[in-house]
Homo-oligomer: A and B are copies of this chain.
């Protein structure tokens, strides 16, 4: 993510595409997007720090998955040029007949290097 001069909506969309394509093809690669102070709430479980967050994401009980994004909203978070990104979409797990609906929000904070990291990440499946 080195797209700081893009407009916020384009930046949010680029982040979302990068995040989910990394999730779907190389989950370990998500480590670069989190820092020690990052927090993930995954289906109600709170996990802090890049290492533990990626340990959680790589231990999920499925090998292959594919995210399809339905909506992306973004707003400035009012802090240090941070940005709130709100996503809804579908998650298809390998071998499962039906996709799962999900919603997820990210709070992105710029880094001194001109990219962004995820300070806050909240994920929920939307059960029918």
**A residues adjacent to B (C-beta < 8 A):** 37, 39, 41, 44, 46, 71, 73, 75-80, 82, 84, 86, 88, 101, 103, 105, 107, 109, 119-120, 122, 124, 126, 128
C-alpha gap A127/B30 in the complex (Å)? 28
Beta-carbon contact of A124 and B73 below 8 Å: yes
Number of this chain's copies in the assembly equals 2
C-alpha gap A102/B46 in the complex (Å)? 22
C-alpha gap A80/B122 in the complex (Å)? 20
A-B contact pairs, 19 of them (CB 8 A): A44-B71, A46-B75, A71-B124, A75-B122, A77-B77, A77-B107, A77-B119, A77-B120, A78-B79, A78-B82, A78-B107, A78-B119, A78-B120, A79-B82, A84-B84, A84-B105, A84-B107, A101-B126, A126-B126
Residues on B with C-beta less than 8 A from A107 are 77-78, 84
Shortest Cβ distance from residue A122 to the other chain B in the assembled complex, whole angstroms = 4
**Leading 5 A-B pairs by shortest Cβ distance:** A79-B79, A103-B103, A86-B122, A41-B73, A73-B122
